Amino acid sequence: MAYAPEVYREQQSLMRCGLHTLNAMFQEQAFTVKELDAICEELAPGRSFFNPHRFPLGLGNYDVNVLEVAFSRRGLRMEWHDPRDQVTTKQLQDPNLIGLVVNQMNSNFGGMFKSRHWYCARKLKGSFYLIDSSKKQNDRMSYDETRSFLNKKKNSGVYIFNIREGDVDVKS
């Protein structure tokens, strides 16, 4: 992996890794906390404080449903990668694939508190860029490095999502 400073990224703020991952995939500030909170309200009307799609008090921790709606509003599909299947180089070379989103369990405070963390592997300029808001820098990876990295992660209980262009029902 090589250091990649030229790729758009946001540093982790509160529990907003889902927001940072969306913006990293679009390589700009495509969404705000206010917009993602509005999606949460649409998914669970009348549940503003104890909304099942985010953590209370505006801290973030958005669930997969929020990210799926956000991607669809920008014309992208978020597809679950079957955990029984290996990530392949052929899959990574798909011209409709713009990247992969990873969701993994994190332990905080000595393992007393567990939460899920979002980050992505974004396809740009003939490589993949690992963009994780909890890290200090982005890393550039070859297709083989990306495949190997994701397959190791996949075997440790993470969820992987393919982010694709084309044939998306845009939800308003």
Residue 120 known to be catalytic: no
Q: Which of 20, 53, 81, 117 is catalytic?
A: 117
In 27-162, where does DSSP find H-type helix?
33-43, 64-73, 89-92, 143-154
- Nearest residue to 37 via CA among 11, 62, 69, 64: 62
Residue 117 known to be catalytic: yes
Please say whether the beta carbons of 27 and 8 come within 8 A.
yes
Q: What is the DSSP string of 77-88?
A: EEEEPPTTSPP-
Q: Using CA atoms, how far apart are residues 102 and 21, in angstroms rounded to an integer?
A: 9
Q: How far is the CA of 124 from the CAs of 16, 19, 73, 115, 140, in angstroms?
A: 23, 20, 21, 29, 9
Residue 132 known to be catalytic: yes
Q: Which of 17, 53, 81, 120 is catalytic?
A: 17
- The two tokens of residue 77 are 């599909």
Unique residue bearing structure tokens 């998306």: 168
Q: Which of 37, 40, 81, 132 is catalytic?
A: 132
Q: Which residues are catalytic?
A: 17, 117, 132
